[in-house]
Structure 1
Amino acid sequence: MLNTEKLAMTSKEAHVVCNSIQVVLEDAKAEDVVTINLSGKSSIADYMILATGNSQRQLGAFASKLRDLFKLIGLKSVSVEGEETGDWVLMDAGDVIVHLFRPEVRIFYNLEKMWLAEMPSDKTPIANK
Structure 2
Amino acid sequence: MELPDFMNYGNKFSQSDFVEKISRVAKRAGSKLVYAALILYYTLQSDKTSLKDKAMIVGALGYLISPIDVMPDAIPIVGLSDDLAVLIYVLKAVWSDIDPEIQKKAKAKLNEWFDDDEISEIDRLFD
TM-score, L = length of structure 1: 0.35
Between structures 1 and 2, the one with greater helix share: 2
Higher relative contact order (CA 8 A, sep 6+): 2
TM value normalised by structure 2: 0.35
